[in-house]
A and B are shown apart, each in its own frame.
Chain A
């Protein structure tokens, strides 16, 4: 598996799209922090939550990162090479997922330090203050990392199922940002949607009644990742590659 992961890392790191998405993700984090600072207000605790919470722009990019990593192989036909050098499709998909998770975790881990840096510059140039302690920062970093990784995995698996980058991104967005909110409108389901668990984890200190608790949100995200991965791998192992 180590060799397979190394191979997937070479693939991911050698194409421009990966680095463009990583760059845009950083921009998304900065944009989220600046937006929160502009909208700030006098409540320093609320300001802190707004600045530190994970970027929803970047969350969208994580879905794209995963979808491009997997579906791009079909679009470019390089999946033929992948499967002829590695007959176990499950291993190939797992290796790709590990690499995408690693990239998402790094971006998630950078989220809080970048936001803190933006806030420090903002306060140094202008006025205002916040009260972000290390414990709060770690809490936000932890939640953001898991959310980004979870949505990136969802992107990978939807990409495997759709085998087309455009369709995969469209389907992932449709499910996460249209169908999921509609299902959330149904009271009995609202706490169990992927977007509700993401909302909890990206901003763990602001708890809404329609959102799961932090631990439940993590469990839900892991559940969605495992179920979708099992479906995608199961389907892929039975399909032909043209």
Chain B
């Protein structure tokens, strides 16, 4: 299989934004690649929303540039088909119905009304398309925002704190939807959040910013295989400890719980399967990511 270069769909270069004497974003550079969910993390006031606003042309940078699919946002020929955004907890007029809100966007993009009905069904709002947005819960508004973002079937999705207001079921649904869009359909997804635990099961790569500057950029997979801890629960705990023993792997048992360091959860699962061990629970604990995030952002909230 030949190597094929996939250029970044979102490319931020030396982006800077200053409000009077306050620098919200300072020479920030990062990229988001196709087929991946890039977590855009940082504490409150780190500059995440300002950065996203600059990427989407809502705010003018004082320096640097942001490109989507190689083009500045305001130069995109068909923005609805290129990038979809979920911002500000759903930017909709309360007096309009969900369907009318989407029809207005579909009209700009020249999309048929049937596409509006499709995305409404897709995000699970099929029961209330004609209800006024003002009567929607925060979670429903987030789903409507996602429907709007998906309307033009864009290659790039930018989501600013999309889990706000979602219940656990909604968060799970969002995670599965985003993973399907990125991993199965090859879309580029930039997902901002200030809550690490909400996105750690979702993202593939992480960009951490603090005080408007890049703190770190890394792949979650690398981190996971480097130092993640896998927790398994099984009535055959002793057998599992024996099954995973090898160089570089540490396994400790506490009752029915086994903690394994130096292996991914996939490796542990495979080892258990080969040994005929029944697992009641298997999960990766991103202790290292959490520690790293805290180190990078400690005391840098604004």
Least CB distance from A9 to B in Å reads 8
Interface residues as binary, A215-242 with B (CB distance below 8 Å gives 1, 0 otherwise):
0000000000000000000000010111
Q: A72-B93, A241-B53, A241-B58 are in contact. Are A10 and B104 (CB under 8 A)?
A: yes
Q: What is the size, in residues, of chain A's interface with B at 8 Å between Cβ atoms? A: 29
Q: Does A206 contact B (CB under 8 A)?
A: no
Contact, CB under 8 Å: A15 / B58: no
Contact, CB under 8 Å: A85 / B57: no
CA distance A73 to B93 in the complex (A): 8
Contact, CB under 8 Å: A3 / B107: yes
Contact of B87 (CB < 8 Å), options: A15, A73, A84: A84
Least CB distance from A16 to B in Å reads 6
Measured between beta carbons, the chain B residues less than 8 angstroms from A79 are: 91
Measured between beta carbons, the chain B residues less than 8 angstroms from A14 are: 95-97, 100, 104
Contact, CB under 8 Å: A87 / B107: no
Contact, CB under 8 Å: A3 / B93: no
Measured between beta carbons, the chain A residues less than 8 angstroms from B59 are: 240-241
Q: Does A207 contact B (CB under 8 A)?
A: no
Contact, CB under 8 Å: B60 / A76: no
CA distance A78 to B97 in the complex (A): 13
Measured between beta carbons, the chain A residues less than 8 angstroms from B170 are: none
Q: Does A7 contact B (CB under 8 A)?
A: yes
Contact, CB under 8 Å: A3 / B58: no
Interface residues as binary, A57-89 with B (CB distance below 8 Å gives 1, 0 otherwise):
000000000000000110011111101111110
Q: Is the interface on chain B under 10, 10 to 19, 20 to 34, or 35 or more residues? A: 20 to 34
Binds A, one of B73-81, B197-205, B229-237: B73-81
Contact of B92 (CB < 8 Å), options: A4, A7, A81: A81
Interface residues as binary, A1-40 with B (CB distance below 8 Å gives 1, 0 otherwise):
0011011101100111100000000000000000000000
CA distance A38 to B96 in the complex (A): 41
Interface residues of B in 65-114 (CB under 8 A from A): 73-76, 79-80, 83, 85, 87-88, 91-97, 100-101, 103-105, 107-110
Least CB distance from B59 to A in Å reads 4
Contact, CB under 8 Å: B108 / A85: yes
Q: Does B148 contact A (CB under 8 A)?
A: yes
Measured between beta carbons, the chain A residues less than 8 angstroms from B88 are: 77, 80
Q: A83-B57, A85-B79 are in contact. Are A3 and B95 (CB under 8 A)?
A: no
Measured between beta carbons, the chain A residues less than 8 angstroms from B80 are: 85
Q: Does B28 contact A (CB under 8 A)?
A: no
Q: A10-B100, A81-B105 are in contact. Are A87 and B57 (CB under 8 A)?
A: yes
Measured between beta carbons, the chain B residues less than 8 angstroms from A3 are: 107-110
CA distance A83 to B60 in the complex (A): 13
CA distance A176 to B250 in the complex (A): 79
Q: Does B181 contact A (CB under 8 A)?
A: no
Contact, CB under 8 Å: A88 / B74: yes
Q: Does B56 contact A (CB under 8 A)?
A: yes
Measured between beta carbons, the chain B residues less than 8 angstroms from A88 are: 74
CA distance A80 to B73 in the complex (A): 14
Q: A11-B104, A87-B57, A241-B59 are in contact. Are A81 and B95 (CB under 8 A)?
A: no
Contact, CB under 8 Å: A15 / B96: yes
Measured between beta carbons, the chain B residues less than 8 angstroms from A77 are: 88, 91-92
Interface centre among B73, B101, B104 (most CB of A within 10 A): B104
Q: A3-B109, A7-B107, A17-B95 are in contact. Are A87 and B87 (CB under 8 A)?
A: no
Least CB distance from A107 to B in Å reads 21
Least CB distance from A14 to B in Å reads 4
Contact, CB under 8 Å: A86 / B108: yes
Measured between beta carbons, the chain A residues less than 8 angstroms from B56 are: 83-84
CA distance A77 to B90 in the complex (A): 9
CA distance A79 to B75 in the complex (A): 19
Contact, CB under 8 Å: B85 / A84: yes
Measured between beta carbons, the chain B residues less than 8 angstroms from A76 are: 91-94
Residues of A within 8 A of B (CB): 3-4, 6-8, 10-11, 14-17, 72-73, 76-81, 83-88, 238, 240-242
**Sample of 12 further A-B pairs with CB below 8 A, known A76-B94, A238-B60:** A3-B108, A7-B108, A10-B103, A10-B104, A14-B100, A15-B93, A15-B95, A77-B92, A81-B148, A83-B58, A84-B57, A85-B80
Can you list 28 A-B contacts with CB-CB less than 8 angstroms, sorted by A residue number?
A: A3-B107, A3-B108, A7-B104, A10-B100, A10-B103, A11-B96, A14-B96, A14-B97, A15-B95, A15-B96, A76-B94, A77-B91, A78-B91, A78-B93, A80-B58, A80-B87, A81-B91, A81-B101, A83-B58, A84-B56, A85-B105, A86-B79, A87-B57, A87-B73, A87-B74, A87-B76, A240-B60, A241-B59
